[in-house]
Amino acid sequence: MATQNRPLSILCIASFFKGEEFMRAAKAEGCTVYLITSASLKDAKWPRESLDDVFLVNEVNGEKGVWNMDEVIAGLAWVMQTRPIDRIVSLDDFDVEKGTALREHFRIPGMGQTTGRYFRDKLAMRIKAQMEGIACPRFSDLFNNDCINAYLDSVAAPWLIKPRGEASATGIKKAHNKDEAWRIIHELGDKRHQCLIEQFRPGDVYHVDSINLDGKCVFTRVSRYLSTPMDVAHGGGVFRSVVVEFGSEDDKILTKLNTDVMKAFGMNYSASHTEFIKDRETGQFVFLETASRVGGANLAEMVEFSSGINLWREWARVEAAMGKGEKYVLPKPRKDYAGIVVSLSRHKHPNTEGFNDPEIVWRMNKEYHIGLIVQAKTQQRVLELLDNYTQRIFNDFHASQPVPNKPSN
């Protein structure tokens, strides 16, 4: 634990390049901030002015984000001989297991491996949600052939066969009949235990982005994907999301459902990103998945332009407050409407000067990508702009590539 004669020390785990604002904010809170990342990212634009040291890990067989955790534990044990670590923060989905393993081994406060499963393993999420009475698509593990057959005979197609541990839409396949489902399962070979099958529930997908403290959601913003991540990944579309109407029925229901999920899964303190489907036939919201981190695809920027709340910064402030035993106070959120549109671009540096409406508050600066965030006082205006921009982007800039097709390792 931190003492009065030294700052709180936070070890950030990032096997992908992200979380720079978290590091800056943690340093601004007076913390000692360390980063452990992949050696392949040693030259990334990390905020080195906010980092007290950077530790590099070689990836196993050059596979992105895959580390030998025995070596990581041994290396961190050596570091901790002279530099105590008070808190460990996993900045990406793929780092959650790494963080829980290190906390468990070194007995550092925070989310352990059992709870971490609920925020990383899609099968664990569904079993826990079902146990707690939270609606989710009907599902089955892929362990036992008889159980799989019973599931396929009792649950209407189509079904999705998806990796338990991948992020976004990576590795998901759709089956429309029993033979097709078994073909996909057999193709998984000895990796099928790393996947699950669930009923495909057509409908709109919503995401709830939160800051959690002491088991409560102290900040929540509810948004709706206008193009779901799966549609974009598999159909080559343009990614879009918009903040829902404040005070609407959807806003109220999803705020409560998100709270229910966080409580059921044992969330104590962290940022979180949770997704729900609004079933097209029944209108019922069903739980899809959650993660103990800030949402990707620049959704954090959209939330900030809507609310004034920077999720990375507030997460860092929560971690610092918990570590120091201090009270955390959330800044007062705004209620503006915001929306985002992002696409791969066939141009290396797309020229967005033709998009010149005053509601544009952010432009993506990434090679072969184009993206805009708009902010307005009404959702209607945001939707008008997103619809217009989506068509223009699709006609003049859009490119697509296949989603990675591999099960978890």
If one counts the domains in the chain, the total is 3
Query: Do 161 and 226 fall within a single domain?
Result: no
Alpha helices in 266-378 (DSSP H): 299-307, 311-324
Does residue 404 lie in a domain region?
no
Query: Do 153 and 237 fall within a single domain?
Result: no
Query: Do 289 and 173 fall within a single domain?
Result: no
Query: Do 364 and 323 fall within a single domain?
Result: yes
DSSP classification of residue 94: G
pLDDT in tens, 227-258: 866 666 555 679 999 999 999 999 999 999 99
Q: What burial class does residue 305 get, using C-beta atoms within 10 Å of its C-beta: 0-12 exposed, 13-18 middle, 19+ buried?
A: buried
Does residue 116 lie in a domain region?
no
Does residue 310 lie in a domain region?
yes
Alpha helices in 266-310 (DSSP H): 299-307
Query: Do 214 and 168 fall within a single domain?
Result: no
Instruction: Tell which of 90, 110, 130 closes a domain.
Output: 110
Query: Do 179 and 283 fall within a single domain?
Result: no
Does residue 191 lie in a domain region?
yes
Average pLDDT (140-165) is 97
Q: What burial class does residue 190 get, using C-beta atoms within 10 Å of its C-beta: 0-12 exposed, 13-18 middle, 19+ buried?
A: exposed
pTM above 0.75, yes or no: yes
Query: Do 207 and 190 fall within a single domain?
Result: no
Looking at residue 311, what is its pLDDT?
A: 98
With contact defined as beta carbons under 8 Å apart, do 288 and 136 qualify?
yes
Strand 239-243 relative to strand 337-345, pairing: antiparallel
DSSP classification of residue 92: S
Residue 52 confidence class, pLDDT cut points 50, 70, 90: very high
Average pLDDT (150-161) is 98
Instruction: Tell which of 179, 199, 219 closes a domain.
Output: 199
